[in-house]
């Protein structure tokens, strides 16, 4: 496994587990039956942190759709550099930071973490064209 694929794997695992805390919060507030029922406007609202975490999860999924193909293309063309490896690691840590600061509600740091992840994706795209 390449180092880029390693970071992609960690990112996929992180993204795949993000639903757990906010669904546990939903179970705590609405009960197991309420959490498993179809959504309704009458549902008890989740806590604010759980709502923010759900939005962070949505954003992580939306960005995984960009990050994963970039890494897979690099793997398919058998291209790796110190910059592509660093970009993948930075992307993972920026997504984790984004999750944390979004969940606790720090808007400026949330935007900064998102931007760092975007720049990492740009580096990967440049790597595909062997500019880096």
Report the CATH number that the domain containing residue 120 is assigned in CATH: 1.20.120.550
User: Which pLDDT score is estimated for 94?
Assistant: 98
Q: How many domains does the chain have?
A: 1
Per-residue pLDDT at 33:
92
| pLDDT score recorded for residue 132 | 81
Give the residue ranges of the chain where pLDDT is below 50.
none
Characterize 90-127 residue by residue with b for buried, 16 or more Cβ atoms within 10 angstroms of its Cβ, and e for exposed.
bbbbbbbbbbebbbeeeeeebeebbebbeebbebbbeb
């Amino acid at each position: 496994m390449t180092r880029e694929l390693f970071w992609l794997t960690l990112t996929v695992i992180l993204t795949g587990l993000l639903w757990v805390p906010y669904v546990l919060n939903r179970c705590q507030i609405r009960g197991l039956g309420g959490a498993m029922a179809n959504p309704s406007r009458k549902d008890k609202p989740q806590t604010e942190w759980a709502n923010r975490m759900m939005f962070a999860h949505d954003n992580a999924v939306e960005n995984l759709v960009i990050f994963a193909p970039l890494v897979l293309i690099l793997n398919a063309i058998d291209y790796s550099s110190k910059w592509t490896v660093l970009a993948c690691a930075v992307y993972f840590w920026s997504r984790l930071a984004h999750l944390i600061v979004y969940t606790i509600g720090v808007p400026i740091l949330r935007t900064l973490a998102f931007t760092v992840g975007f720049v990492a994706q740009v580096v990967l795209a440049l790597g595909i064209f062997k500019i880096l």
